[in-house]
Chains A and B, each alone.
Chain A
């Protein structure tokens, strides 16, 4: 107390457990470590990225992991400025739902451009990988505008 600012105390929240990610989420995270993005095929043939263990409509278990493209199209976006202190990004950045080529559900990730003016719905983007990958969504540093003619 003292200055009228209320009581203050440091508190460290801990989660002293380990988890296994299982055959579906685990496959996705392992893929990221190898530098590939994977999805999962539903019984109607559509592909969901990131893969989920159960079909969100029919609830049936899903098992068919497929490798998908590391490039695609922005379907919705916003601009994050200032960057959030806990996030993997130190600079203002885009945040977007990205429909990777050949997939049917968009992936949420950052888009690495300098200003909101460089973002638009329908823009082509490609994955930017970190050099050191550990099997985590942040193995993707984000997505950058696709360079025309370059091989993704």
Chain B
């Protein structure tokens, strides 16, 4: 295997981007990651992005965003209709094949013009479920109730996760929901909006984007003082149907963590892409994280959820922290689909 590292990251996330197109959003971010390491697009071997036509309301919307990259002279490029974390996986594979030594990866989403929780019904079974238009929050609530009533988690545990996210997010430049003084009692006093989920249990919706540059071997060492090396990366998927699996579990998350080697050595922190406190509770168990591990120092996806970028942002947050010397080994997680159906785990290390 080739050693591949994250050598530059940039992100922007706000509650709502109004009057700004996806191209206008991505131009400064793409320039920032390339400029940080002195590369131009001509130096990039492969470019891969993650975004959603369903959010943009336009087929092949990602093609427009290539205007922000610069595609003349022609570039080697690909796209996934998934979070940018899965685009990063494709880029990592491309570098493993030897077809590229560097890759530019980005993900972005603007969900504020529409109703994200309704749009996400379209990712469900088109015959049996989508015509009922269950919101994303309602589907997550069914999972959360199973978790609570099975006794695996308590309402207090979920509230503690919400509080931890909001406190960690204080001072995080990309968080859209933070609070230094919120308490568990405050969260438990909120009226449920998708019973049993309360507003603070649900990730704060955001618009934004994230860009990352990957480089292989000595090239990475030359571009960056302390590259964040990808020591393991894997993604797995569970069955699609909501009724056909135990929703209190996420076997694909556990399998991805094992195959990425997450448990092979001590972790300093983890960045999790849980979209609900209940999902974060499931992830901590499935990823077999120690009780005292620092989870989501950035606030995590709960503090700001840009659909199609929140997973890549977890990798970017972890990599930036390692490159800054604030940790040596971290787990970054990304999810896709309903109820933690598909999960990616990336283990990053400094040298």
Contacts and interface: CB of A to CB of B under 8 A. Distances in A.
Interface of A: 4, 6, 11, 13, 21, 25, 28-29, 48-50, 52, 56-57, 75-80, 84-88, 95-97, 105-110, 116, 121, 136-138
A48 B241 CA distance: 11
Contacts of B132: 87-88, 95, 108-110, 137-138
15 contacts: A50-B241, A50-B243, A52-B241, A56-B241, A56-B244, A76-B142, A76-B145, A77-B145, A78-B141, A78-B195, A88-B132, A95-B134, A106-B243, A107-B243, A137-B132
Contact of B145 (A11, A87, A121): A121
B190 to A, nearest CB: 15
B131 A136 contact: yes
Contact of A105 (B118, B146, B194, B241): B241
Contacts of A79: 192, 194-195
Contacts, number: 100
Nearest to A136: B131
Interface string B122-139: 000101110111110010
Contact of A108 (B18, B128, B146, B197): B128
Interface string B324-350: 000000000000000000000000000
Interface string B97-111: 000000000000000
A84 B133 contact: yes
Contact of B146 (A50, A76, A80): A76
Interface of B: 18-19, 57-58, 118, 121, 125, 127-129, 131-135, 138, 141-143, 145-146, 149, 192, 194-197, 239, 241-245, 247
Contacts of B18: 6
A54 to B, nearest CB: 10
B149 A121 contact: yes
Contacts of A29: 127
A125 B239 CA distance: 26
A86 B133 contact: yes
A56 B245 contact: yes
B243 to A, nearest CB: 4
A136 B132 CA distance: 11
Contacts of B143: 76
Given A52-B241, A76-B142, A137 B195 contact: no
Contact of B118 (A48, A78, A86, A95): A86
B127 A78 contact: no
B243 A108 contact: yes
A84 B145 contact: no
A84 B132 CA distance: 9
B138 A80 contact: yes
Contact of B57 (A11, A50, A75, A88): A11
B19 A97 contact: no
Given A84-B118, A105-B243, A110-B132, A78 B57 contact: no
